[in-house]
């Protein structure tokens, strides 16, 4: 893949946390691989398809903030499936090889399988299909798993924070039972998703006692349990450093419970999870340690919000408006090349590394951060 430098001529302007880029004077017709200021390539695109959710996980969409009067986006504000697919195909020209659909709860978006089929038809410049995956709370999986698979979804991640029904309900805060999520995982497995990633956010004093039972449960399955450190995404979840159970503490808990682990080598550059395996060679596990072990150095992820704003960091407070360019009627045949040039400009100017600077940033910055349910995990 050739590397291209796109001269930045346009001057952008910000209003209300949204940066607007004018159509560039010089259009770059073939994108090539983009590198940011820290020489990180663009490989992974996360697309949020809705800002709504049927859960109210206390660490993500606390009930007190996300009430029924919360200003959720209206349908006309959302990118259409055609706009999402068009954007994705331009990102692929810049080096994206993996797309993750997320939200809010992505399975709430009507006919999501149609979008998956459209994205599954995209090809890289080398003619390969993309790695196409989706993260869900599992509540609608029993109903949707077959259709997702048939549409071409290659992999699946299901979030599950506890096996104990009382603790799980306390965390999802809508009284949703564990058994239905487990049933959804089973249905997905039957539909052909073999190694499902299971995301467990661990909060000290809330579900830390579930770490061992979750590890035991998934040890005898083909699935990969991933422990996620509770993160300070957005401004709603009242994050406190002392509520984070660090990955090394989790590893010690598992060892003490008779489940020693061995570390596995990384499979790809920019992986969010450190890979481990039970020492008896049963299931693989993952640790996403964005608080205790920042992994910004290799971060190759961009995020496209439900509304078509591009974010270059999960902890960003500013998005770049791509939707206004996707919808500009005057661009004619140059439209995709204009958007591609702007994406190149945005990625080239990126220098995000929030997790590496977290302590300093939290003390010195008092900016508004974007919510996880809007930007997607």
Binding site for ligand SF4 (CB under 6 A): 53, 55-57, 60-61, 103-105, 137, 159, 290, 295-296, 299, 301, 313-315, 352-355, 373
Q: How far apart are CA 314 and CA 371, in angstroms?
A: 9
Q: Nearest approach, Cβ of 32 to ligand SF4 (angstroms)? A: 22
Q: Nearest approach, Cβ of 229 to ligand SAM (angstroms)? A: 7
Asked whether position 172 contacts ligand SAM by CB under 6 A, the answer is no
Q: How buried is residue 272: exposed, middle or buried, by Cβ count under 10 Å (0-12/13-18/19+)?
A: middle
- 206-235: which residues touch ligand SAM (CB under 6 A)? 228, 230-231, 233
3-state secondary structure of 101: strand
Q: Nearest approach, Cβ of 59 to ligand SF4 (angstroms)? A: 7
Q: How far apart are CA 125 and CA 134, in angstroms?
A: 23
Q: Nearest approach, Cβ of 290 to ligand SAM (angstroms)? A: 8
Q: How far apart are CA 134 and CA 294, in angstroms?
A: 23
Q: Which does 136 bind (CB under 5 to 8 A by kind): ligand SF4, ligand SAM, none?
A: ligand SAM
Query: In Å, what is the CA distance from 132 to each residue of 83, 103, 154, 242, 278?
Result: 17, 15, 5, 35, 27
Do strands 131-136 and 98-102 pair parallel, antiparallel, or not at all (unpaired)? parallel
Strands (E), the chain: 13-15, 18-20, 44-48, 98-102, 131-136, 155-159, 197-202, 224-229, 261-263, 274-278, 284-288, 301-304, 309-311, 319-321
Q: Which does 61 bind (CB under 5 to 8 A by kind): ligand SAM, ligand SF4, none?
A: ligand SF4
Query: In Å, what is the CA distance from 58 to each residue of 111, 149, 198?
Result: 28, 30, 18
Give the number of residues written for the chain: 377
Q: Please identify, using beta-carbon distances, which residue of 53 and 118 lies nearer to ligand SAM.
A: 53
Q: Nearest approach, Cβ of 367 to ligand SF4 (angstroms)? A: 14
Q: Nearest approach, Cβ of 199 to ligand SF4 (angstroms)? A: 9
* Nearest residue relative to ligand SAM (C-beta): 377
Q: Please identify, using beta-carbon distances, which residue of 117 and 314 lies nearer to ligand SAM.
A: 314
Q: Nearest approach, Cβ of 105 to ligand SF4 (angstroms)? A: 5
Query: Which residue in 58, 102, 236, 341 binds ligand SAM (CB under 6 A)?
Result: 102
Q: How far apart are CA 194 and CA 184, in angstroms?
A: 13
Q: What is the size of the binding site for ligand SAM (CB under 6 A)? A: 21
Q: Please identify, using beta-carbon distances, which residue of 245 and 316 lies nearer to ligand SF4.
A: 316
Contacts of 256 (CB under 8 A, 6+ apart): none
Query: Which residue in 50, 135, 236, 335 binds ligand SAM (CB under 6 A)?
Result: 135
Q: Which residues bind ligand SAM (CB under 6 A)?
A: 53, 59-60, 102-103, 105, 135-137, 159, 199, 201, 228, 230-231, 233, 237, 372-373, 376-377
């Amino acid at each position: 893949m050739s590397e291209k430098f796109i001269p930045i001529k346009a001057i952008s302007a910000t209003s209300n946390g949204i940066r607007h880029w004018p159509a560039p004077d010089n259009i770059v017709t073939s994108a090539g691989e983009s590198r940011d200021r820290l020489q990180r390539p663009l490989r992974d695109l996360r697309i949020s398809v809705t800002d709504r959710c049927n859960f109210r996980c206390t660490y993500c969409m606390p009930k007190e903030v996300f009430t029924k009067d919360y200003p959720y986006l209206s349908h006309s504000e959302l990118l259409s499936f055609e706009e999402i697919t068009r954007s994705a195909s331009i990102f692929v020209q810049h080096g994206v090889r993996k797309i993750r659909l997320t939200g809010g709860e992505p399975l709430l978006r009507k006919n999501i399988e149609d979008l998956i089929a459209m994205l599954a038809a995209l090809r890289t410049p080398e003619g390969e299909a993309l790695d196409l995956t989706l993260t869900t709370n599992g509540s609608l999986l029993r109903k949707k798993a077959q259709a997702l698979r048939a549409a071409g979804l290659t992999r699946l991640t299901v979030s599950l924070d506890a096996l104990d029904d009382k603790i799980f309900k306390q965390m999802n805060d809508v009284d949703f039972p564990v058994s239905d999520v487990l049933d959804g995982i089973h249905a997905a497995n039957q539909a052909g998703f073999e190694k499902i990633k299971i995301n467990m956010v661990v909060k000290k004093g809330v579900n830390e006692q579930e770490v061992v039972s979750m590890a035991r449960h998934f040890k005898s399955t083909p699935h990969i349990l991933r422990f996620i450190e509770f993160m300070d995404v957005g401004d709603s979840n009242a994050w406190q450093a002392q509520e984070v159970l660090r990955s090394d503490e989790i590893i010690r808990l598992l060892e003490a419970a008779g489940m020693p682990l061995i570390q596995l080598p990384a499979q790809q550059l920019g992986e969010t999870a450190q890979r481990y395996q039970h020492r008896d060679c049963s299931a693989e596990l993952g640790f996403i340690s964005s608080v205790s072990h920042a992994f910004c150095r290799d971060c190759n992820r961009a995020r496209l919000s439900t509304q078509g704003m591009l974010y270059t960091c999960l902890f960003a407070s500013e998005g770049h408006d791509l939707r206004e360019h996707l919808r500009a009627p005057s661009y004619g045949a140059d439209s995709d090349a204009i958007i591609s040039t702007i994406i190149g400009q945005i990625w080239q100017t990126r220098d995000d590394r929030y997790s590496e600077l977290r302590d300093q940033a939290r003390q010195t910055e008092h900016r508004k951060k974007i919510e996880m349910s809007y930007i997607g995990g």
